[in-house]
Amino acid sequence: MINKTDLTNFLIINCLESQGVNCDEVDYFLKQYDINLRSDHRNFLIKYANNTSLLTSMFADCTFEQFKKYYSAYLFSDELHDDEKIPFGTSYFGHDFNDEFLCIDHNTGEIFVYGYEEKSSPAYYKNIDSFLVYSFFWHQENEQYFEIVEKEIQIQEQNKFKSNYGKNEVKDLYGYCFQCYIKDQELYIADFSRGYYNLYKGGILNLLNRAII
């Protein structure tokens, strides 16, 4: 079974241009502002954080430019509104697709919505890979990479769905409103809170299955 990082890398490498940030530029900025990041957060900035087609939308912005903008203002706290200040034990991650602030927990790597220096539980994204996969499927133009896309298929019985597809779950790849499953040449993104799933078949998934085999 494919793991979360392999799936994330596969989707982005095969569908999107690599648009990272030079590691020296990232490290210079972190040193300049005395910012300590988790290694996976630093790697995210270096590998993906110039990819505006993946990390931005009408509200969202998790690019390196947004990261720099935040910490440049953070140095002078009077330039930040109270609701923008990050909770203790976290780093600023960006702005989410639903117009909310995101921070990443230093210990767990989970990504939370926050406000007024408080995290909102549960985590929005289990980890950075979960955020990246959600971002990929948020942008509907990426549906062109699949032969068949079926949206908002009702889940009649959630327990039965989880029983049928549980062994196909991509471990540790989930968020506040989605869970990811892969079976044969089909990828399922389930939203149990709303009671439906999206189904993606064929296309680049054919390449993924050959890679697994």
Per-residue pLDDT at 213:
46
Which residue is listed with tokens 């990041």? Answer: 37
User: How far, in Å, CA of 59 to CA of 63, rounded?
Assistant: 12
CB atoms within 10 A of CB 144: 10
Query: Do residues 92 and 178 lie in contact, with contact meaning Cβ atoms separated by under 8 Å?
Result: no
User: How far, in Å, CA of 201 to CA of 143, rounded?
Assistant: 10
Per-residue pLDDT at 165:
94
What letter represents residue 32's amino acid? Q
What letter represents residue 2's amino acid? I
Burial class (CB in 10 A: 0-12, 13-18, 19+), 35: middle
Quick one: tokens of 151?
């949206």
Q: What are the structural domains, with CATH classification, of the chain?
A: 4-9+16-133 (3.40.1580), 139-212 (no CATH)
Q: Radius of gyration (Cα) for the chain, nearest Å? A: 18
Q: Give how far Cα 165 sits from Cα of 148, 160, 195, 207, Å.
A: 19, 9, 15, 21
Q: One digit per residue, pLDDT tens: the chain, 213 residues?
A: 789 999 998 998 888 877 899 999 999 999 999 999 999 999 999 999 999 999 999 899 999 999 999 999 987 766 788 999 999 999 999 999 999 999 999 999 999 999 999 999 999 999 999 999 999 999 999 999 999 999 999 999 999 999 999 999 999 999 998 999 998 889 999 999 999 999 999 999 988 866 554
The enclosing H or E element of 181 equals strand 178-183
**0.75 exceeded by the pTM?**
yes
What 3-state class would DSSP assign to 190? strand
Quick one: tokens of 80?
């930040």
What letter represents residue 102's amino acid? L
Query: Do residues 116 and 85 lie in contact, with contact meaning Cβ atoms separated by under 8 Å?
Result: yes
CB atoms within 10 A of CB 31: 9
Query: Do residues 158 and 146 lie in contact, with contact meaning Cβ atoms separated by under 8 Å?
Result: no
